[in-house]
Amino acid sequence: MNSQTNLFGLIGHPVHHSLSPEFQNKLLNLFDINAAYLAFDIEKDQFENIKTTMKTLNIKGLNVTVPYKESIIPFLDKIDDSAKRIGAVNTIENINGQLIGYNTDVLGFVKMLKELDVDLDRHKVVVLGAGGAAKAIVFALEKLGVVDIMLYNRTIENADRLLENFNFDTKQTLSLQDFQIENDMLIINTTSIGLNESESPVAINKNVINTVLIDIIYNPFETKLIKDAKDHGIYAVNGLPMLIYQGIESFVIWHKEISNPFYYYDNLYDDILRKLVD
C-alpha cells in the first residue's frame, strides 16, 4: 500500500461475519491492482455521514449490506434502472465524486439458481423476508419467468408493498408464523435471522419431497434453518455462491479494465469454503 492505493469496502451493521474482504482482496491481488478492500461496521446514527465520508476519502467503491440496501438510495447521485426498479442498492461506484448505485444481487442469485439447476416450473416459489435482498431476489424471479409467488414476512404490509411493484400472475403475502412446509417448494430465505445460529425464521417440522431450500446467509455455513431442513431430508444450500457471484459483478463495475474475473470463481469458492469449514 502507498499513496496511490485506492480504497474499496463494505458497509453494514453487523459486518464481522462478512467474507467479502477475503475474496475481494484476493481478486485485487490476482489482477495486481493497487487497492485494498475493508469492511466498515456503520452504526445507524452515523450512517447519514456516508456520502460525505465516501467523497472526502475518495473511496472508489462500496458494497452495501444489511440494513442499508434501501436507506442508502437518497444519499446517491444516481442509480441504474435495475436498482431503481428493485428499490435497493448493494454496490456503489464513485466516479469523480458522483456516487452511482447498482444492484448485483440479481445477477448473483440468477447465476446461483442456474448452477443449482432448479426447475422453476416444478416448484412453488416461496420467499421469506421483505427487505433489500428479498427485493433483488423477487426481481430476479420475475426475470426468470416465475408466474406465482408466495412472500412470507413478519409485517405483511411490507410484503404487500414489495410485491406491488412486480408482475406475477398470483401474488400471496402471509405472516412468517403461518408458514407450513410442503412438497414441491423452492424456499428462499432472505431474512438475517439465521445469523444467530440458534434461531430460524420458520419451522421445518416434517419430511417433504421435491423441495429445495436456499438460505442466502453463508456465515454460519449451516444455519439452523438449513440444519433443520437437512434433518427432514430436504436439499438445502447456503448463499455462498450468490455472495461470490454478486461480489465478482461488483468487481467488474469497479474495474472495467478486467475482462473476465468469473474465470477465477472455482478457486475463490474453494478457498472461501475451506475458510468457512475450518
Q: Where in the chain is the domain with CATH 3.40.50.720?
A: 106-238
pLDDT at residue 133, as a whole number: 94
Q: Where in the chain is the domain with CATH 3.40.50.10860?
A: 6-103+241-277
The CATH architecture annotation of domain 106-238 reads: 3-Layer(aba) Sandwich (3.40)
| Candidate CATH numbers 3.40.50.1820, 3.90.1150.10, 3.40.50.10860, 3.40.50.450; the one for domain 6-103+241-277 | 3.40.50.10860
For the chain, the DSSP string reads --TT-EEEEEEESS-TT--HHHHHHHHHHHTT-SEEEEEEE--GGGGGGHHHHHHHTT--EEEE-TT-TTTTGGG-SEE-HHHHHHT---EEEEETTEEEEE--HHHHHHHHHHHHT--GGGSEEEEE--SHHHHHHHHHHHHTT--EEEEEESSHHHHHHHHTTS--SEEEEEEGGG----TTEEEEE--SGGGSTT--SS---S--SS-EEEE---SSSS-HHHHHHHHTT-EEEESHHHHHHHHHHHHHHH-TT-S-GGGGHHHHHHHHHHHHH-
Full-model pTM:
0.92
Catalytic residue check, 69: yes
pLDDT at residue 224, as a whole number: 97
pLDDT digits (tens, 9 = 90+) for 211-254: 999 999 999 999 999 999 999 999 999 999 999 999 999 999 99
The ranges of the chain with pLDDT < 50 are none
From the candidates 60, 69, 111, 171, which is the catalytic residue?
A: 69
